[in-house]
Structure formats: C-alpha cells, structure tokens
Amino acid sequence: MKNGLQKFGKFLSAMVMPNIGAFIAWGFITAFFIEKGWIPNEKLAGLVTPMLNYLLPVLVAYQGGKLVGGDRGGVMGGIAVVGVIVGAPDYPMLMGAMLMGPIGGFVIKKFDKAMEGHMPAGFEMLINNFSVGIFGMILAIIGSYLIGPLMAAILVVLSSGVDVLVNHGLLPLAAIFVEPAKVLFLNNAINHGIFTPIATLQAQEAGKSIMYMLEANPGPGLGVLLAYWAFSKDKATKDSAPGAVIIHFLGGIHEIYFPYVLMNPVVIIAPIIGNICAITFYSIMKAGLVGPSSPGSIIAFMSMSPKGSGMIITFLGVVIAAAVSFLVASPIIKMSGAKSLEEAQAKKDSMKAEAKGGAPAAALTGADVKAADIKKIIFACDAGMGSSAMGATKFRNRIKPLNLGIVVTNTSVDNVPGDANVVVCQTILQERAAKSAPQARLVTLNNFLADPSLDALYGELAALSSGAGEQTADAPAAEEPKKEAKKGVLIEEGIKTGLPSVDKETAIRAAGKLLCELGFVNEDYIDAMVEREKLVTTYMGMGVAIPHGTSNAKETVKKSGIVVMQYPDGVDFGDEKANLVIGIAGVGDEHLEILANIAGSLEDEELLENLKKNADVDTIMKTFG
C-alpha cells in the first residue's frame, strides 16, 4: 500500500513540478494586480482567471498525457481537459487535469500499440492526426458531461471537509500526517494530489490559502537540523548540520534533513509539534499564501505572501515552527547515543528507492548460494544492452586475478539463464530477477560500477581464492576473448565534447537525437530513452551514464550505434553528476566491445578524469573505439 502511494505521489509530482513556474507566475500576478494586491491593476488582474481556469489545467493535463503517451499523449490530454473545464466552469480543474491527462495518454498509447504493423504505407500522417482528433473529441465530450461535474462534486466535498477542520480548529492536526509523510516520501501524494487543488480554489475566492503552507514550511526541518548542530554527540553529524541548514532553509531541499530524523526516529515528534504550532498560529492570524511555494525554501515561502502584514505573519510562523521543533528535538538528541549519519543516509536511499517503485535495498538476497558453488555470475538490467554489459566487464576484470574460473556475463533481467548462480541487478529490478532466476542468489545495488554490495561479493570470492590452495591458483581464469570494436558503431561525428551543463532529460534527448541523426535509430527511440530513465536510472557511477531505450523499443533501432556526450561540469542524474553521457542503441552485440573498452578505461583514474573533462574527439575515439 505504501509503495502504491509513493508511486502515485511521484506520478502526481511529475505532472505538477514541470509546471510550477506557471503556478508561480499566476501567484505573482494574483499577489500584485488583484484589487487587494500590492499594485492593483484592473487590466492585468484580468489575467488571473484565464490562467487559473485554462492555462494551468491544460499544462498539467498535457504533462500527464505526455508521461503516459509521449507527445501525442500530451496533445490528447490537452484536448480532453478542455471538456472537463467546460463541464465545471465554476471550479479550477486541476484535479480533472490530473485525471484526464493520463487517460488521454493511455488511450492514444493503446491505439498506437494496436496499429503497430498494421499501418498502410503512405497513410501514417493521416491516421496519426485523425486518431488524436477523434479520440480527443470523444474524451472532451466525456469530460464535459461526466468527469467535469464529478470533479466539481469531489472538490466541493473536500473543500467542505477543510472548512469543517478550520471552523473547529482541527487543521493543525494535519501536521501529524504531513511530517511523517515527508520523511516517508509520501508528501507528493498529499501535497500535489490534495493540498494544491484545494488551495488554488480557495486562493481564487479569497486571494490566498493556508493549504499552501501546510507542507512547504521550512521551519520544522530547520529546528531539527539546528538541534543536531548544537547537541549531536557524533562529530560527523554535528559538522554536517550547518551545510544541511543552508541547503534546506535557503535551497528548499527538505530531503536533506530526512536522514537526521531516520537516525533517531523519535525525533519526528519535533517537526510534528513545530508544524502544529505554526499552523495554529497561521489559523488564528487567518494567514495564507497566494500560490504554491516550490521549492520549500524561505525565499519562495516568503515571496508567495500576500500584501501588507502577510509577510511578517508568514515569517513568524516559520520562526515558531523552527523554535518549537528545536526545543523538542534538543533533549531527544542530547539523551541519544552517537548514531551514524552514514547509516541513516543509506536507510534514506533505500526508502527513496521504494518511493520510485523498487523494493528495499538488500545487499544479498534470494537463494542460499555459497561462494564455493558460484560458477556463473549474471549482470542483469532491463534491456541487457547497456548498464549490465559495462558492469559485467568491470567485475570480470576485477575477479580475473583470483583465477576462480567463474563466468561473468550479462543479459536482460527477464532472460536470465537457468545455470546462473548469482544475479546482480539494480534494486528496483530485484522482483523481476527473482522471478526469472529463482535458483540464483541476488545481489542488489544502486549502480553497477561502484557499490558496497559488489564489494561484499568480491570479498567473499577473494577469501575463497586465498583459502583454496594450489588447485584454485592454477585454475584458468574465465576470460572472454578480446574483440576489436566493430567499425561504424562509434564514429567521430557521434562524439561531442565540451558541452554546457543541461538537465538530465535534455541530455538524454540530445544523445537520442544524435543517434537518430546518424541513422542508428528512428525518432521514437528518443522517447523510449526518456521512458527507460523513468523506470530505473542509467547512471553507472564514476561520472558515467549510459541512457538507452526500453526493451520494447528494439524495433526502432536500425543498427547498433553509440554516441558520447562530454559535459565537463556534469549533468545531474539524481544525487550524482554524469560527465560522460553515452547514448546506446543495440541490435545485436556489436556495441558490447565498445562498452567493454569504456569499462576498461574506468580502471585508470587519471585517464577517466581526462575523458570526463578535457579529452578531445580523437582521444575519446582512440580510447573507446
């Protein structure tokens, strides 16, 4: 149930977060130009209602449709939500957009799937355009007569429930759910699924809403971090707290304080009580924000405050939350032992993996296979053509001096051979791996190039080698014959150096576009690369990411090819930076030799550093090709 909520919250967040800038623009226009705003302007105030009723729902629905059905799904979502807007003209249909956008994407995705291989030559454009038009019209009609009135009724019920809580002074109790939800990565389901739609409706009527303040207040987390800074007995934790304060309070990255709570779960009482006090204060003062505060930094939180004394009241609520949280957390931290922040960080990473749809991280799981019985190790990823190939090559080279005769190779996670003794896969894929190879021992990890779980497996094999006597020492190493990379898989035109930093999706799409321009794939493969990244990260570790398409996208690959994009300042892949973004398209195994060369180059730290930041096209070509 928790995993389901986490996935739901992540999906809602993926629809809303790319459009937060539009929400903020609407919030600023409201704050500045309405009759009670900072600088009232009747003409500019006329922007408020159209943006709220049309622009924001259409943007959210487009994003939701695109997440499910690509660009065509986005168009479908935009058409469908207009019907919902017309069906409930008195309410901002953000909730309707969150429903109709994905439905539109799903419908066109299913249609496109059904038409694969059945599209008459020469009629592709006609069918593609008319299918979106016809299905979009049908969904718009359904939205107008059914979904719009239904969403309006749900909004009325939810708003009435909030009014009851406010009128009876019970709204502060929401903190009992909000603060633990943040630590458990359930905050997106609550914030974007419930709070934002209700707050937007209230802000339309009253010019502000307290609902925007329930989750975004940085005060509760600030109090916890200050308490650790002042009273932690663990030096590493104490020394790390000041930096965390800056990132949390000014940067708005609340996730930074989650490990501090997880290392001593009783501390969760502090932000709960701190937020209860802040919400109580805001309720008494009839406070509210004019738009969503995202990220939840003090800068964004204050900028969404209404005219007049609103900013002072907003700031005082943050101070109250921080002070109470600090006072409650301090004695708890003083009385607790010196617990490790590293352990708590690992626990947080495990929970974050769950929030992305995976199972909790576990170093060694599955069947009970002893080190002495290991004859074949399989590295498995979704498609079996990228991350697993590099991981297998690197680990094969690592255990080669042990002379254990163990075969190390790679495959897709759904096609693990029956004689595999150990399967190495990313945490999020462990259920599929267990189903594919129930006889094997599972080693789950976060990336294939550098992970404590791999170190643990290597340690067992090294111990076996050192204690096995002369027989093991004389055993032949399981070494695959070295092959030369096939010509044409990597060409000079497929290497771009010195690129400026961009966001992850832009970098992935740039690699896909280059693969397409060089004739390795068609355009559909680019979306498949983005979709693959949503399933499980293609970041390998050591500054290298290898984005590629999903296993279902192989029909879009014309021939095997690799492109190398060098970003000296790095591209953010979650909590890590990739300097080399290596786009892959594989038909057979032609690309695997180059991946082996890439994995081999990672053994030389000086060479790797040069490849990531300074190497020119010729150097990369000679090293990888």
Domains of the chain: 169-357 (no CATH), 364-474 (3.40.50.2300), 492-624 (3.40.930.10)
Q: β-strands 422-426, 364-366: how paired? A: unpaired
548 has catalytic annotation: yes
The closest of 588, 577, 583 to 554, measured between CA atoms, is: 588
| 390 vs 416, higher pLDDT | 416
**DSSP for residue 304:** T
pLDDT at residue 12 in the model: 66
Q: Flag whether the pTM goes above 0.85.
A: no
Q: Is the pLDDT assigned to residue 570 strictly greater than 80?
A: yes
For residues 587-599, average pLDDT: 59
248 has catalytic annotation: no
Question: For 417-421, 478-482, 569-573, which range has the lowest pLDDT when averaged over its residues?
Answer: 478-482
pLDDT tens by residue, 270-308 = 999 999 999 999 999 989 888 777 667 788 788 888 877
Question: For 289-293, 346-350, 450-454, which range has the lowest pLDDT when averaged over its residues?
Answer: 346-350
Strand partners, 424: 379, 443
pLDDT tens by residue, 302-340 = 888 887 778 899 999 999 999 999 999 999 988 875 444
Please give the span between the terminal C-alpha atoms of the chain, in angstroms, as a whole number: 48
pLDDT at residue 159 in the model: 63
pLDDT at residue 359 in the model: 41
Q: Is the pLDDT assigned to residue 621 strictly greater than 80?
A: yes
Q: Is the pLDDT assigned to residue 472 strictly greater than 80?
A: no
Is the distance from CB of 208 to CB of 289 less than 8 angstroms? Answer: yes
Q: Is the pLDDT assigned to residue 446 strictly greater than 80?
A: no
Is the distance from CB of 48 to CB of 26 less than 8 angstroms? Answer: yes
Share of the chain above pLDDT 90, in %: 18
For residues 326-355, average pLDDT: 64
The closest of 380, 399, 376, 404 to 472, measured between CA atoms, is: 404
| 554 vs 173, higher pLDDT | 173
Q: Is the pLDDT assigned to residue 150 strictly greater than 50?
A: yes
pLDDT tens by residue, 3-46 = 555 566 567 667 776 776 787 687 778 767 877 667 888 888 88
For residues 546-550, average pLDDT: 79
Q: Is the pLDDT assigned to residue 487 strictly greater than 80?
A: no
Strand residues in 238-355 grouped as ranges (E): none
Q: For residue 144, what pLDDT band results from cuts at 50, 70 and 90? A: very high
Tokens of 39: 């600088």
| 484 vs 96, higher pLDDT | 96
Q: Is the pLDDT assigned to residue 193 strictly greater than 60?
A: no
For residues 455-483, average pLDDT: 57
Cβ atoms within 10 A of the Cβ of 533, count?
A: 20
For residues 557-576, average pLDDT: 84
DSSP labels, 569-595: EEEEETTEEEEEEEEEE-SSSTTHHHH
Contacts 24+ apart (CB under 8 A), 569-572: 569/500, 569/501, 570/501, 570/543, 571/501, 571/502, 571/503, 571/504, 571/507, 571/545, 572/503, 572/504
pLDDT at residue 475 in the model: 41
pLDDT at residue 186 in the model: 54
Q: Mean pLDDT score of the chain, rounded to an integer?
A: 78
Supply angle C-alpha 174, 177, 181, rounded to 5. 135
Q: Is the pLDDT assigned to residue 358 strictly greater than 50?
A: no
| 144 vs 39, higher pLDDT | 144
- Out of 248, 254, 548, 591, which one is annotated catalytic? 548
Q: What are phi and psi of 268, to 5 degrees?
A: -60, -25
For residues 116-130, average pLDDT: 82
pLDDT at residue 86 in the model: 93
Q: Is the pLDDT assigned to residue 476 strictly greater than 50?
A: no
Report the distance separating Cα 408 and Cα 425, nearest Å.
13
pLDDT at residue 452 in the model: 74
pLDDT at residue 137 in the model: 95
For residues 580-593, average pLDDT: 70
For residues 596-604, average pLDDT: 63
Q: Is the pLDDT assigned to residue 553 strictly greater than 60?
A: yes
For residues 236-248, average pLDDT: 78
Q: β-strands 441-445, 364-366: how paired? A: antiparallel
> Which of 273-277, 285-289, 461-465, 590-594 is modeled with the greatest confidence?
273-277
Tokens of 216: 């975004």
Angle, helices 94-115 vs 148-167, to 10°: value is: 150
Report the distance separating Cα 107 and Cα 137, nearest Å.
12
Q: For residue 58, what pLDDT band results from cuts at 50, 70 and 90? A: very high
- Out of 192, 248, 277, 381, which one is annotated catalytic? 381
| 442 vs 243, higher pLDDT | 442
Q: For residue 2, what pLDDT band results from cuts at 50, 70 and 90? A: very low
pLDDT at residue 400 in the model: 84
Report the distance separating Cα 149 and Cα 155, nearest Å.
10
pLDDT tens by residue, 364-402 = 555 677 878 888 999 887 655 566 777 787 788 888 888
pLDDT tens by residue, 252-269 = 667 667 767 867 778 999
| 145 vs 19, higher pLDDT | 145
For residues 449-462, average pLDDT: 76
For residues 422-450, average pLDDT: 79
Q: For residue 602, what pLDDT band results from cuts at 50, 70 and 90? A: low
For residues 497-519, average pLDDT: 90
Q: Is the peptide bond prior to 295 cis by the omega test (within 30 degrees of 0)?
A: yes
